[in-house]
Amino acid sequence: MDESLPTLEVVLVDDGSIDRTAELMQEISYSDHRFQSVFLAKNYGHQIALSAGLSVCQGIEGVMVIDGDLQDPPELLNRFYDELKKGNEIVYGVRKIRDDEGWLKKKTSHWFYRMLNRLSSTTIPYDSGDFCMISRRAVNILNTMPEKKRFIRGMRAWIGLKQKGVPYDRDTRVAGETKYSFRKMIRLALDAVFGFSELPIKFMLRLGLLAIIIALAYFGYTLFRKIFFGDVMSGFTGILFSIILFSGVQLISIGILGEYIVRIFFQVSDRPLFIIKERIEHQQHIYG
């Protein structure tokens, strides 16, 4: 920071931590005027915490988004800024080497991005995360987007404008453990799919058509056996097959509709994305 831009502000966001994070943030905010701290009222999740930071940052030229574990190198600030000055509105990091993850996580991440781009009308850059630098104009656009179930890298790609990827190596974690559990990654993936793809609804239609085709084929097979061989499966076999098939199709369809309905409910409820409990800005203590 001392060797970088002359006017630099750092916004630290505490997403309802239960360790000494809040205490350390207060110490550095009071001792260094370049730091301001935002303390959320509870744990809202990674994407909402990033949105909270973007909502209060005051960067005139651009804003750099980076996680607190510093696996993404802060030293790329100047390189990102150089790309921003060339006219790029969004400069994002592309991971070349990912020493921070195991084989399974690397493969699932690789497949996820490629599958999402096949399903979505918005092209999301491969192997990119939330690590980026965004122009003031792009930040303002993001802040006006009202999604409750947020997938920021998808929203960032949806904006368009001029974008540039910068390849880099992601180091292993020095201390602690990732808070992104497998369950949270699945939730993020669902937010991405349901937020940027029409496939789930189209899947319901295709699944229903497939079920009808299977049922008609089964009926034709049964009729063929009856006419030419005089034997038809007796008992509840056929009925049981039909019940299982159509019940499965209906349950899957209801589940997909439920995902959309839940998202509609949270969207129309119009609750705030987050509540700021406290904020330390340039050595002023502000209570939200």
pLDDT tens by residue, 231-279: 665 655 666 667 777 777 777 777 777 777 777 777 777 788 888 888 8
Q: What integer pLDDT is reported at residue 78 of this predicted model?
A: 85
Residue 48 in any domain: the answer is no
SS3 99: coil
Nearest 5°: phi and psi at 2?
-65, -25
Strand partners, 278: 39, 287
Residue 4 in any domain: the answer is no
The structure tokens 């802040």 sit at 143
36 vs 30: CA distance, rounded Å: 9
The structure tokens 């600030």 sit at 77
Residue 43 in any domain: the answer is no
Residue 253 in any domain: the answer is yes
Give the sheet arrangement for strand 10-14, strand by strand.
Answer: 10-14, 35-40, 276-281, 284-287
Q: Do 81 and 191 lie in a common domain?
A: yes
70 vs 172: CA distance, rounded Å: 10
Q: Do 77 and 113 lie in a common domain?
A: yes
Q: Do 77 and 193 lie in a common domain?
A: yes
The structure tokens 């995360």 sit at 129
Is 152 a residue whose pLDDT tops 60? yes
Q: Do 180 and 205 lie in a common domain?
A: no
Confidence of residue 288 (pLDDT cuts 50, 70, 90): very low
What's the pLDDT tens digit per position in 183-229? 666 676 666 666 666 677 777 777 777 777 777 777 777 777 777 77
Q: Do 96 and 189 lie in a common domain?
A: yes
277 vs 38: CA distance, rounded Å: 8
Give the pair of three-digit tokens for residue 147.
Answer: 């999604």
Q: What is the DSSP letter of 87?
A: T
Contact call for residues 60 and 74 (beta carbons, < 8 A)? no
Q: Do 79 and 128 lie in a common domain?
A: yes
Domain that holds residue 133: 73-137+149-197
Q: Do 119 and 132 lie in a common domain?
A: yes
Residue 30 in any domain: the answer is no
Which helix (DSSP H) or strand (DSSP E) does residue 131 occupy?
strand 128-135
Q: What integer pLDDT is reported at residue 287 of this predicted model?
A: 47
- The whole-chain average pLDDT of the chain stands at 77
Please, what is the Cα angle at 195 between 193 and 200, to 5 degrees? 50
Residue 20 in any domain: the answer is no
Q: Do 81 and 184 lie in a common domain?
A: yes
231 vs 103: CA distance, rounded Å: 54
Give the sheet arrangement for strand 90-98, strand by strand.
Answer: 62-65, 128-135, 90-98, 163-170
User: What's the domain count of the chain?
Assistant: 2
Residue 240 in any domain: the answer is yes
Q: Do 84 and 174 lie in a common domain?
A: yes
The pTM assigned to this predicted structure is: 0.67
Q: Do 193 and 217 lie in a common domain?
A: no
Residue 94 in any domain: the answer is yes
Other CB atoms within 10 Å distance of the CB of residue 180? 12
Q: Do 189 and 221 lie in a common domain?
A: no
Give the pair of three-digit tokens for residue 25.
Answer: 């943030």
Q: Do 95 and 163 lie in a common domain?
A: yes
Q: What integer pLDDT is reported at residue 154 of this predicted model?
A: 81
